[in-house]
Amino acid sequence: MQIDRKTRFLTREEAIYFGLLAAVIFLILPLALDSFRLNLFGKYLTYAFVAIGLVLCWGAGGILSLGQGVFFGLGGYAMAMFLKLEASTPEATAIQSTPGIPDFMDWNQITALPWWWEPFNSLAFSLIAVVIVPVAFAFIIGVAMFRRRVGGVYFAIITQAIAAILTILIIGQQGFTGGVNGITDLRTLKGWDIRTDEAKEILYFVNAVLLFACLFAAQYVRRSKLGRLLIAMRDQEDRVRFSGYDVASFKIFVFCLGAAFAGIGGAMFTLQVGFMSPTLVGIVPSIEMVIFAAVGGRLSILGAVYGTLLVNWAKTTLSESFPELWLLGLGALFIAVVMFFPNGLAGLWSEQVMPRLRKLFAGRGAGARPPAAPVPANSASAPDSPAAKAAAE
């Protein structure tokens, strides 16, 4: 997968937009917000990982997944399992009937750590699992669906059903997963207290760096030949297939890439918020993640980040001011964007705002420009001049 030599990785305009987003995330928000609000926006940015993956899957590839919360949750649970085991040392759990295991296992009368929890004692394994587990699950779903040419609304409904099934499974296996409460009371990472304000600020910047790494990876895909093939598959899938391309493999790849992004976001959510629960895995959060991408613009990776920040900020503000009406407000925002701005905030900017700004600046430039000097009648450019006649002959 290579970028065409004629295709630039970032145009000048895109580089400016990336720089503006970096200024907002790395400078403006840390300087303008206190520790609590900065941690809140850090949580918002973890959802942006999912939105970026949706731009690739849905915006570029035409694959609408209503179950991205599954991959977000798997990455989050992988990190939460390591943190919970670190917090469940025999000394810290001495009051339990079975010291050395997570508290929810002791409450459910489990007397030994399950074998599949054992590898999560290793931080290296847990970090790998944050990406590998969601990707492996996405690969299984992708092979099962795309090899059978299942797509469109059918694929969306199936992914939604998978989200519901996994939520029920997590809640039902309370002794192994923490049930409806999830995995809570996460305190340290290799002895480093992640609950302090200083730790939360550091994690915010780590989250921001990883987010930009995913943005650049997504931009690389969009600018590569694969990116053009994804758009072609979205618009004319049969024609791409008849041209000899393995459409299913491309869909599986981009679906797995979106799952990897979501898994990283889930892990960062666990580190910054301090818990992971099935409420972040099910249908409702998965649909909200689609709303983030739709509001920001399903064709723009930067728009997806802005959309995530805007929707979550509106959700927090409305829920604080109007606790009984905020859901209606969120729904109205989504409906308004879909009806009037189908390409989201990014489409509104590129189709409405930028043309007006260009026209405005072009008009000012033309007004400031001195009038052109008249062409002398005997000049070489005059049609009846001797020089012009000689050139014509």
Residue-wise pLDDT tens digits, 237-258: 999 999 999 999 999 999 999 9
Please give the Cα distance from 151 to 214 (Å, whole number).
25
Q: What is the dihedral of CA 327, 71, 271, 175, to 10 degrees?
A: 90
For the chain, which residues score pLDDT lower than 70?
A: 1-7, 365-393
Find the domain containing 20 and state its range: 2-392
On whether the pTM is more than 0.75, the answer is: yes
Tokens linked to 143? 């092979």
Query: Around 189, how many Cα atoms within 13 Å sit in the side-chain half-sphere?
Result: 19
Please give the Cα distance from 281 to 322 (Å, whole number).
26
pLDDT reported for residue 386: 44
Length of the chain: 393
pLDDT reported for residue 7: 66
What Å distances lie between residue 42 and 87, 100, 285, CA to CA? Answer: 23, 32, 17
Name the 3-class secondary structure at 192: strand
pLDDT reported for residue 184: 93
- Could you report the per-residue pLDDT of 26-73, keeping only the tens digit for each? 999 999 999 999 999 999 999 999 999 999 999 999 999 999 999 999
Residues with Cβ within 8 Å of 96's Cβ and at least 6 positions away in sequence, in order, are 103, 106
In 3D, which of 286, 249, 307 has the Cα closest to residue 65? 286
Counting the structural domains of the chain, the total is 1
Please give the Cα distance from 185 to 92 (Å, whole number).
12
Tokens linked to 374? 């008249």
Question: Looking at this protein, which amino acid is placed at residue 345?
Answer: L
Are 295 and 345 in contact by the 8 Å Cβ rule? The answer is yes
pLDDT reported for residue 352: 81
Are 119 and 125 in contact by the 8 Å Cβ rule? The answer is yes
